[in-house]
Amino acid sequence: MIYMKVMQDASETPVYNCSDMPVYILDQNLSDYPDRKGLCHWHKDIEIIYVAKGEMNYHINGKTILLRERSCTIINSQYMHYGSSSYYHNCQFICIRFHPGILNSIPSVYKKYVVPLIENRKIEYLSYEIDSPNHHKIEDAVGQICCIRKEMEDGYELRLVSAIYLLWKILFEECGPNLQEEPMLEPGDQTLQKRMVSYIYEHYQDALTLDEISASANISRSKCCMIFKQYLHQSPVDFLNKYRLEVSRRLIVNTQYKITQIAFSCGFNHLSYFSKIFYNEYGCTPTEYRKKNQKCEDIS
């Protein structure tokens, strides 16, 4: 299983796998994620998702797009996003992440070609279907980056940075018309969304109420519910419970804590209620889940 490390401010802890470079490249299966769904998060990295086989839904700042086979989506820096299974089917995909700073070897070039794109709030993501004009260029660039990482020849770091620069050139040329406009400030609702999600991640162990979640962003209950429905397609309470279940599921698999202790530590006041929604989510009781998936390593 793949467990995402999400900080209390809802940002994902950066994990890279290309020497000392801020780059992450890996072939993945959506079935490797709990419930075939990633946690809602954000980071400063640019993220590229390329679907090798199957399809999945990708959620970016309240928008949901269907990624089909050979389609590619590039998520801009600092936007909330996560992937989920389409009809609970599996999906094989390539994930590439890199920090924009890798393109900052020449400050004047970075300021001219990188900053205008990552700071333009109109550009949340770029999506490329097979029939998109630049699809073949993006697909070739993704393939080249993956091959360089796989071959790991001497000096591969230089080739990798070069390939990322070439990819960025394609993106910059496509976004050119929008980059001439004055960048928009981040919409208020997106800031409020991050604030409330961060509050839930930080206080999920407490007996949280809808009033407390909405108060963390200094908005009304109705505004809170509207934002969660728009950006996360669920109610604040449902989002809270799903996160609690994810944490409890990890504890069940990776520790020897008693089920009752885990339930209470994750914010569930009644073991019967915890068992009921756990069964509804995973199709078995917490005890049965532990027997099927017990591991020896400690949680990260």
| Cα(195)–Cα(216) distance, integer angstroms | 7
Greatest mean pLDDT among 127-131, 177-181, 194-198, 296-300: 127-131
What strands lie across the sheet with 56-60, from one edge to the other?
63-67, 56-60, 81-85
Name which of 58-67, 126-135, 182-191, 271-280 the model is least confident about.
182-191
Residue 152 clears pLDDT 90, i.e. is over it: no
Neighbours of 61 (CB within 10 A): 20
Domains by residue range for the chain, with CATH: 23-179 (2.60.120.280), 188-293 (1.10.10.60)
At 12 the pLDDT is 63
Average pLDDT over residues 70-94: 91
What pLDDT, on a 0 to 100 scale, did the predictor assign at position 79?
87
Dihedral through CA 103, CA 138, CA 89, CA 64, nearest 10? 70
167-212 pLDDT tens trace: 999 999 988 776 765 444 445 787 888 889 888 988 899 989 999 9
What is the Cα–Cα distance from 90 to 151, expressed in whole angstroms?
Answer: 27
Can you give the pLDDT at residue 11?
Answer: 60
pLDDT at 191: 82
End-to-end CA distance of the chain: 13
299 pLDDT higher than 60: no
d(CA 245, CA 57): 21
The fraction of the chain above a pLDDT of 90, given in percent, is: 55
Q: Give CA separation, 135 vs 7, 81, 103, 124, 177, in Å.
A: 34, 22, 22, 18, 19
pLDDT at 56: 95
Grade residue 164 by pLDDT with cuts at 50, 70 and 90: very high
Neighbours of 108 (CB within 10 A): 7
Q: Please answer whether residues 224 and 210 qualify as being in contact, where contact means their C-beta atoms are separated by less than 8 angstroms.
A: yes
Task: Tell me whether strands 23-29 and 91-98 are parallel, antiparallel or unpaired.
Answer: antiparallel
Confidence of residue 6 (pLDDT cuts 50, 70, 90): low
The pLDDT of residue 103 is above 90: yes
- What is the 3-state secondary structure of 247-275? HHHHHHHHCCCCHHHHHHHCCCCCHHHHH
* pLDDT at position 43: 87
pLDDT of residue 4: 57
Q: Compute how many other C-beta atoms are within 10 angstroms of the C-beta atom of residue 208.
A: 18
For 230-283, what is each residue's pLDDT tens digit?
888 889 999 999 889 988 988 998 888 999 999 999 999 999 999 999 999 888
Alpha-carbon distance of 193 to 225, in angstroms, equals 10
Mean pLDDT score across all residues of the chain: 87
Residue reference for tokens 């620069």: 165
Distances (CA, A) of 193 to 39, 77, 188, 190, 228: 14, 16, 9, 5, 7
Q: Where are the alpha helices (DSSP H) in 185-285?
A: 188-203, 210-215, 221-232, 236-254, 259-265, 271-282
**Residue 247 token pair:** 């944490």
